[in-house]
Structure 1
Amino acid sequence: MIEQLSIPTPAGNFDAIASGPEDGRPVLLLHGFPEAAIAWEEQVAKLGSEGFRAVAPDQRGYSPGVRPEQVAEYGIDTLVEDALAMADSLGWGKFDLVGHDWGAAVAWWTADHAPERLRTLTAISTPHPAALAEAMHTDEDQHLRSGYLTEWRQGRVTERRMLADDADALRRMFDWKVAPSKIDEYVRRLSEPGALTAALNWYRAGRPGGKIGKITVPTLYVWSTEDVAFGSTAALATQNWVDAPYHFQMFEDVSHWVVEEVPEAVSALLMAQFSVY
């Protein structure tokens, strides 16, 4: 049910997985760090079986065909351009956009930059960027949770630490919530020359030049209570940044790795969201 795709864009060719009929309702699913498109395997398969055209790409730096060396080439504006360029290449005028972790950040900014292109937005884990920024400054809990950002923005020392001892630090990030075979695949990919540096360049590229506003497309935001990166302050404040139909779904006792820890529940939420809008 899963096919392999190569999506040509002006930036290069993005590897992707896909499922469903070519003329099905289009859904683009964006992964986060330190994962890849295969994080969405179960959702892509489920959506495809229900008649949607679901495509999950390996994003910039994760696809070998789009792995520039300069940090500046991983800014949020460029990542948004990638998402829209992939949709253009696939022949999609309007589509549903889903993202987790960094993929959710890209999704929020895409909804801000090009709301006319989206039917719906689904953000998993990562709250609205403005809500997160405010929480980092006003909420001690969120400030502490975000402490890793300073370390990950450092130079090659971070890569060496993460890949040492058979990438033990990378593996421990998943907190035993993701299948070992999938973690092995993530590690294999990020162990390729330049791959982990490219993935970390998302963190090193700096803050966006402009400010993000309120989102004006129907939005589903999914947050889990055991997320180590994002606390409740930003999660609950996200509703203040959506000026459109909004649904907040909280998962109790689920980690940051929502997409893979409770895949069937995530698929059901997506199906419910798409059935309404």
Structure 2
Amino acid sequence: MIRTIPTPTLEIAYEETGPAEGPPVVLLHGFPYAPRGYDAVVARLAAAGRRCLVPYLRGYGPTRFLSPATPRSGQQAALGQDLLDFLDALRIERAVLGGYDWGGRAACIVAALHPARAAALVTCTGYNIQDIAGAARPAPAEAEHRLWYQYYFHTPRGEAGLAADRRGIARLLWRLWSPTWSFDDATFAASASAFDTPDFVPVVIQSYRHRYGYAPGDPALAAMEAALARRPPIAVPSINLHGEDDGVGPPENSAGHHRFFTGPYERRLVPRTGHNVPQEAPDAFARAVLDLPAG
């Protein structure tokens, strides 16, 4: 069942499973995905006594902005602040945080800047806090070609393309990023319905432009962005899950990420798995959560 809770900026929609008194785990999806990606993980964690909370990120599903005046920003600080606001609204002082892609970024931000709120961290592809100042530096050609969709979104043509065919683009990215995952039409459709919102396109476009310095951020988030620009370390116990077949961020990308983690840290490569780790390898994701401190 989908529940909603107001925060200062959003009415956040979320799903809750497991015993209310269990240690809380907040699981965050990425782009272009949805909470359905955690269904098998949640089943395993709830059976182990964990209280699982899976919110829809801003721009997705039933989550809505409270004011039309709020910038439809998808910048990293917005995702981190939304997670903090969600914890506050539910009066959760401390939780295990897990995520991948945009959701992994939000989890890393809170773990880095507000470690008292994170009992532990499961992050896919490692340290997901963006280096916006360094984003202008060209990467090797092998890395650049994987980011074609980001450059597409930097243009008016890409914005119009996403508005016209958000499902087509999302399905292509699923296939390219998880080349060994044979998902069916029903699996894709279950997540794709979360993209059919008025805020999806503006939030996505702003996210991919802001991370390169091509779009201004929300002024209300300037202080957090300044803190993130310093590349803060993560001190909470952390496990980095990286799919060996990730088609957008291959495993070598996170090989040196241990330098960003000052607390207990383990990197686990997940075989026969692409970018969408919790949906492709739910046992590995659930095991990582259960192997970390619960509170």
Scaled to the shorter chain, the TM-score interval is 0.7 to 0.9
Amino acid at match of 1:221: N
Equivalence for 1:13:
11
Relative to structure 2, which stretch is displaced further, 45-54 or 23-32? 45-54
| Structural RMSD (CA) | 2.7
Equivalence for 1:148:
149
| 1:110 and 2:110 correspond | yes
> SS at 1:7's partner residue?
strand
Q: Measure the CA separation in 1 of the matches of 2:34 and 2:290.
A: 22
Alignment of 1:109-148 (within 5 A): 109-125=109-125, 127-129=127-129, 139-148=140-149
Equivalence for 2:43:
45
> SS at 1:269's partner residue?
helix
Q: Measure the CA separation in 2 of the matches of 1:8 and 1:258.
A: 29
Could you give the per-residue CA deviations for residues 178-222 of structure 1, whole angstroms, max 9, x where no partner exists?
A: 342131133333234342333333223345442222111111101
Give TM-score, length-normalised by structure 1.
0.86
Q: Is the 8 A contact 1:215 1:242 kept in 2?
A: yes
Alignment of 1:197-276 (within 5 A): 197-206=202-211, 208-209=225-226, 210-274=229-293
Structure 2: stretches of 5+ with no match in the other structure = 176-180, 214-224
State which of 187, 190, 205 in structure 2 corresponds to 1:185.
190
* CA distance 1:235–1:131, shift in 2 (3 Å): farther
Amino acid at match of 1:225: E
Amino acid at match of 1:169: I
> SS at 1:74's partner residue?
coil
Q: Measure the CA separation in 1 of the matches of 2:149 and 2:75.
A: 19
Q: Measure the CA separation in 2 of the matches of 1:152 and 1:126.
A: 24
Instruction: Percent identity, please.
Output: 23
Give TM-score, length-normalised by structure 2.
0.81
Report the Cα offset of residue 7 of structure 1. 2.2
Could you give the per-residue CA deviations for residues 97-130 of structure 1, whole angstroms, max 9, x where no partner exists?
A: 1011111111111111111111101101354436
Equivalence for 1:29:
27
Could you give the per-residue CA deviations for residues 61-85 of structure 1, whole angstroms, max 9, x where no partner exists?
A: 1144434676563322222111011
Report the Cα offset of residue 6 of structure 1. 1.1
Structure 1: stretches of 5+ with no match in the other structure = none
> SS at 2:292's partner residue?
helix
Q: Is the 8 A contact 2:115 2:236 kept in 1?
A: yes
Q: Is the 8 A contact 1:102 1:126 kept in 2?
A: no
Report the Cα offset of residue 232 of structure 1. 3.3
